[in-house]
Amino acid sequence: MGRLTVRNLLAHKRRVAGLVIAVLLGTAFLSGALILSDTVKSSITGLIRDNGAGTDVVVRNATDVTDRPGTDRAAIPAGTADLVRKVPGVASASPVVVGYGQLVDTDGEMITGNGPRIAGNWIDDPALNPYRLTEGRAPQAADEIVVDRASAKQGGLEPGDRITVLTPEPVPVTVVGIATFGEADAFGGASYTAFDLAGALQHVARDPGLISSVSVRLAPGADQEAAAAAIQQVLPPGVQAVPGSAATQEQVDAVSDGFLAIFRTFLTVFAVIALVVAAFSINHTFSVVTAQRMREGALLRALGASRRQIRSQALGEAALIGVTASVLGLLAGAGLAAGLKAMFAAFGFAFPVEGLQFRTETALIVLPVGIVVTLVSALIPAVKASRVPPVAALRDAAVESAGVPVRRTATGAVLIAAGVVATVLADGFLLLGLGAAATVAGVLVVAPAVVRVLGSALTAPFARFGAGPMLARGNVLRSPRRTVGAATAMVVGIAVVTVFAVFAASLKSGAEGETRDTLVGGLTLGDSSSAGWAGGGHSPELTAKAAEVPGVATAVGLQRGNLLAFGSSRDIMAADTARLGTVLDLGVEDGSVEALGTGSIAVSDTAADDHALKVGSRVPVTYPDGTKAELTVAGVYDRTTLVGDYLIDRQAWAPHSVADLDALTVLALAAGAQADQVKAAVEKVAEAYGNPPVRDRDGYVDASLAMVDQFVTIVYVLLALALLIALGGIANTLSLAAHERRRELGLLRAVGAERGQVRASLRWESAFVAALGALTGLVLGAFLAWSAVGVLAGSGDQQVPVTVPAVQLAVLFAAGTLGGLLAGTRPAARAAKMDILRAVSVE
């Protein structure tokens, strides 16, 4: 039987191609996702290792309040470097200042990038400095800087240019040199501005007496561990010495566990969605192929082959196809990874990546997954095929039953009912998930009966458009089960997209409403999105100046930071809480969020629930500089879109913070002031600070949602791949169907159908199948999203109105249908070319 398996595959190239393509599409995405995340990981960790390569020991603040890599430790005394230098075995010790430095080009515009804006001091010891000068020289005065080549290119900077650096106060400087990070233009997406040490202490450090860390180079052959221990002996309390390799590893781990893990999970989720969609497509393709081969199997049975032999022959073929297609999918994944990389770059998330990282693990994941999915998909059709009595199959080629068993429909109806009840009543995600699964399964089970009734009604109006749609309609309705099989991948794909679309739209409109409610001040200054990068923002000096602009009643700066509470790092917002109420309405539920002073904290109701807090609760915290304090909860608030979950007063924050930087300033207008005039006046003041945007409430809401939109777009693109797989499946089964119906098509041509009409009939059929699938998916997805939003709203106190994005969904439906039409093009063209004589001649 083994030889027969191989012969069979070779004899039916088209069927095999169809199956291989179905499996290939599914595995390629998985492979691509893994390759891309490995590539990004290796390149990012590579950058980090390069950065720390020459540093043998790092001396730094012992307190770490953030799980973000490489930033946010508080400062240490500048004199520490001198102490370290005296330790035996230390060859060189350079004080390192790291802080915020936004470059402003010669036109007064900020040079924006895709990473933190870093400023610091140029380190003369090349072993400790990962940057290399490519042009000009090192800074020798407090107003001279070296910039990274990427920023120089972007801002058109050359040595000799007079520009401004916002640290965050505007500092006039002269560019004297341009440097690369090793061979690369920049350290990933980060910009780098290096002053000399005096300049860095004066402009970048929070206090000229404080530095960020000390980088130490040891005499050749010295042991990092031992040296670190020796250095530790001379250090003041709160300062630690760690071996360079350990410090680097910490950063690598932080990135790997943080961003990279999220990125990998994110991609994997979509890969799994694609694989599920592909599995439906593979399963259907196998069903069709198996039905076509019933006769063959029956002949073998009649000649004495056992059921098991028939079954193992089918599974043997599936295994061969699974292996071949998975290997091809693995390779295709490399291409897909390159494409995804380009897509992320197009959306402004460029990865500092060269080439692609292909690890053995990828193959060890993709190949078994592809093969197992193929085998499982092939199993049911194979078992069905082996059950056909030999005589039945020999008698008639059309073994596939056109009927829809009542029992099947009844089972489906029960499943749907149970699913819907569970979904609607669900108050947690477990019940919701079970309900959703039952609903989806029920819909797929009941679908053939629905196609028979609803599909017939929905396609009827098109039958008048000519012979093409009329014939297509007949073919869609001839075997409702097959139609459903062909459309299932589409149903699942569109349902997933719809769930996401409704979910995203609902969350967005929820966030939009909340932002509007929160923002009672008339204007904002600064860019909320830049705050996403550690340390983005502008100088409090600008906030103070804005407060003096005529027509401005209050200007309150919001500072972002981190501190340790409840055992891990917490994002906090610090503000002048005495006046915060004039610009923001946080929806206070209990107590007060005003005038928190140095001993109080306000928390969101979510945080209050999570940590069992109420007004009067004591919260022990550790500030970035290592200071421990106990804060009292003064108030609990509802609206978190602007301030997050923890709010403290500036007075409490300022002495311990890493940087003095306002992420956003909110302005309240004086009574009678003209918003337009005030806005223009504030913009004028902001000119000297690199023109941070000034926005009214609508403008701020739009800008803050733009980030969300971008993320949503990326998700759409990734989900579109799943839809492509579904469309590929439709095309695939259509071409199999055309092959199967070649005699009918021949008859049609013989009695006078033009090629165009044959083509049209197949394209209409494809569009009908896609449209029916898309419609079902839309309804299903909308229902599931509605339930999910309900559960989400029930679990928190956030008001999340269910928003159905009608336009997006209409576009989705149109895209699905049009995609179906396009998917039918090739099979239709091939079918129209078929030889009439061969088709009508009796075999």
Partner 1 sequence: MSAPLSAPDETEDATNSITRPGRYAACAVHAVRAYGTGDTEVRALDDVTIGFPRGRFTAVMGPSGSGKSTLLHCLAGLDTPTGGQVFLGDTDLGTLSDKQLTRLRRDRIGFVFQAFNLLPTLTAGENVTLPAALAGTRLDQEWVDRVVVSVGLADRIGHRPSELSGGQQQRVAVARALAARPELILADEPTGNLDSRSGAEVLGLLRDAVDSLGQTVLMVTHDPGAAGYADTVVFLADGRIADRMDAPTPQAVLDRLKAFERPARTASR
DSSP 8-state assignment for residue 482: H
- List, in sequence order, every residue forming a beta bridge with 58; answer none if it has no partner: 215, 242
- Apex 137 CA angle, 148 and 126, nearest 5: 75
Tell me which residue of 810, 706, 801, 782 sits closest to 506, measured CA to CA.
801
Residues sharing a CB contact under 8 Å with residue 767, sequence separation 6 or more, in sequence order: 472, 817, 818, 820, 821, 824
Q: How far is the CB of 457 from partner 1 (least distance, A)?
A: 17
Neighbours of 762 (CB within 10 A): 28
Q: How far is the CB of 460 from partner 1 (least distance, A)?
A: 14
Q: Which two tokens stand for residue 182?
A: 């090793």
**Three-state secondary structure call for residue 472:** helix
Q: How far is the CB of 836 from partner 1 (least distance, A)?
A: 6
319 or 463: whose CB is closer to partner 1? 463
Torsion of CA 90, 94, 99, 101, to 10 degrees: -150
502 or 745: whose CB is closer to partner 1? 745
Q: How far is the CB of 840 from partner 1 (least distance, A)?
A: 6
Question: Residue 410 and residue 399: Cα distance in Å, rounded?
Answer: 24
- Which segments within 700-832 are labelled E, that is strand? none
Question: Residue 60 and residue 533: Cα distance in Å, rounded?
Answer: 22
73 or 749: whose CB is closer to partner 1? 749
110 or 748: whose CB is closer to partner 1? 748
466 or 655: whose CB is closer to partner 1? 466
Question: Residue 389 and residue 299: Cα distance in Å, rounded?
Answer: 10
Place of tokens 């590929």: 728
Q: How far is the CB of 743 from partner 1 (least distance, A)?
A: 5
125 or 744: whose CB is closer to partner 1? 744
Tell me which residue of 139, 147, 142, 144 sits closest to 113, measured CA to CA.
147
Q: How far is the CB of 326 from partner 1 (least distance, A)?
A: 37
815 or 836: whose CB is closer to partner 1? 836
Q: Which two tokens stand for residue 82?
A: 């001198």
Cis peptide before 168 (omega within 30 of 0): yes
398 or 410: whose CB is closer to partner 1? 398
Q: How far is the CB of 437 from partner 1 (least distance, A)?
A: 35
724 or 840: whose CB is closer to partner 1? 840
Place of tokens 């040079």: 111
Place of tokens 């009918």: 744
Q: How far is the CB of 284 from partner 1 (least distance, A)?
A: 20
22 or 767: whose CB is closer to partner 1? 767
Q: How far is the CB of 752 from partner 1 (least distance, A)?
A: 2
37 and 267 Cβ atoms separated by less than 8 Å: yes
Q: How far is the CB of 697 from partner 1 (least distance, A)?
A: 60
Q: Could you list the residues that contact partner 1 (CB under 8 A)?
A: 398, 402, 466-467, 470-471, 474-475, 477-478, 743-744, 747-755, 757, 836-837, 840-842
DSSP letters of 103-161? EE-TTS-B---SS-EEEEE--S-TTT--EEEEEE----STTEEEEEHHHHHHHT--TT-
